[in-house]
Structure 1
């Protein structure tokens, strides 16, 4: 079963836990960034001024980097799944379980990304509806 190890770290003992740990870490980063932004917003409201642009640039850069990294990981997973599917269709690979596992991993990654996008869009719409 060592062939599964090359598919996004899934397979082997506890391999699925690594992907789960990455998702949990990304979630924690989002929560941390959100609380930091709320603290900055609260400090700006208390002093009667908006927070400086320099203080908000660092958290946004960190979130942007984390989001880009997550999207790159999902894209790589989809590319591996496409390559495995093409290999199977050409008869180069005979292990259909490997191909199906790669397709499922790509599908789950895409669904998670879609849910994050929906939440971000909803948060953006809520912010735009707020009265100033």
Structure 2
């Protein structure tokens, strides 16, 4: 079984961050982070749509879709969604910490 969707994307982002040059301004960094975050959310959305499609095809009796395919796709989308929730929680926690800092 290969669970490569989110794991490979996270590793690619880590390598990209390690190899990237320092940005000239904060706006460019914010835009890059926003793009990366948007891409990650879109990937999770794609996994969930794929899982739902496989489940619907299995429910309709498609012979090309097995129960194991449906369960693997469902678990992939579940893990990706849970990881997204954890990232969101960390971002909210960091934002609250920044807002509580004295100026």
With the shorter chain as reference, the TM-score category is: 0.7 to 0.9
- Residue in structure 1 matched with residue 76 of structure 2 by the alignment: 105
Q: Which runs of 4+ in 1 moved over 6 A?
A: 30-33
Deviation at 1:23, TM superposition (A): 1.4
**2:8 aligned to which of 3, 17, 21:** 21
- Residue in structure 1 matched with residue 54 of structure 2 by the alignment: 84
Which is bigger in relative contact order (C-alpha 8 A, separation at least 6)?
2
- Residue in structure 2 matched with residue 115 of structure 1 by the alignment: 86
Q: Map 1:9-88 to 2 at 5 A.
A: 11=1, 15-17=2-4, 19-27=6-14, 55-88=25-58
CA distance in 1, matches of 2:78, 2:17: 22
**Consecutive unaligned residues in structure 2, runs of 5 or more:** none
Deviation at 1:25, TM superposition (A): 3.1
Relative to structure 1, the CA distance from residue 118 to residue 101 in structure 2 (aligned partners, 3 Å threshold; closer, same or farther) is: same
TM-score (norm 1): 0.66
CA distance in 2, matches of 1:75, 1:125: 27
Deviation at 1:92, TM superposition (A): 1.4
CA distance in 2, matches of 1:129, 1:75: 33
Relative to structure 1, the CA distance from residue 27 to residue 119 in structure 2 (aligned partners, 3 Å threshold; closer, same or farther) is: farther
Relative to structure 1, the CA distance from residue 17 to residue 107 in structure 2 (aligned partners, 3 Å threshold; closer, same or farther) is: closer
**Consecutive unaligned residues in structure 1, runs of 5 or more:** 1-10, 38-53
Deviation at 1:72, TM superposition (A): 0.3
Deviation at 1:28, TM superposition (A): 5.8
TM-score (norm 2): 0.83
